[in-house]
Chain A
């Protein structure tokens, strides 16, 4: 079935390091793809999204490109900050938008 697989964590980086969190998907149609972020004790917040192949979503220095040929939507940031410490979820939304599938989440810790 339709699903999302993201790299297992936890990921620990030093401040200003480069971040990549891998995400791949399996879908029968043409899903929209999302990255959500969850800060400690809070609900999920949309970080960025892409709705079709080759689209690049970006926000707060994070980027991800919808790659249909590799069925991937990897999250990247050039220089992480301590405030980026959170759990990151990759997700896809199917055609009716009522069935959103989430990855297991990747916990990122950034140390000063």
Chain B
């Protein structure tokens, strides 16, 4: 039981490049989330998926797209990376009727 896993752990991009961050959970959770963590700002919600087949914007969705591929997997795509997207990205999941979110180890992204 690995919980929430994320790949890659670290990535360097040039401005304008695209990439997809992968997230998977093996806890049979319905809801999944993508956050970014910036110094002095805590975590901010980018997108979430309340259930398979649905996605919704969070607090800071601009510049990102998501796909809920199936119940286990929720990916985050940067179509044209910008230096402002340099951050640490965390995926999380939550079971139905639960309040606690379970977090992955994070992906550190540097955009030059």
Q: Which residues of A contact B (CB under 8 A)?
A: 4, 32, 34, 36, 41-46, 49, 51, 89, 93, 97-100, 102-105
Contact = CB atoms under 8 A, between A and B. Distances in A.
Contact of A98 (B48, B105, B106): B48
Contacts of B101: 46, 100
A34 B100 contact: yes
B13 interface: no
Given A49-B99, A98-B33, 9 more contacts: A36-B103, A42-B106, A43-B90, A44-B90, A45-B103, A98-B48, A98-B56, A99-B45, A104-B40
Interface of B: 4, 31, 33, 40-45, 48, 50, 56, 58, 90, 92, 94, 98-106
Contacts of A44: 43, 90, 92, 103
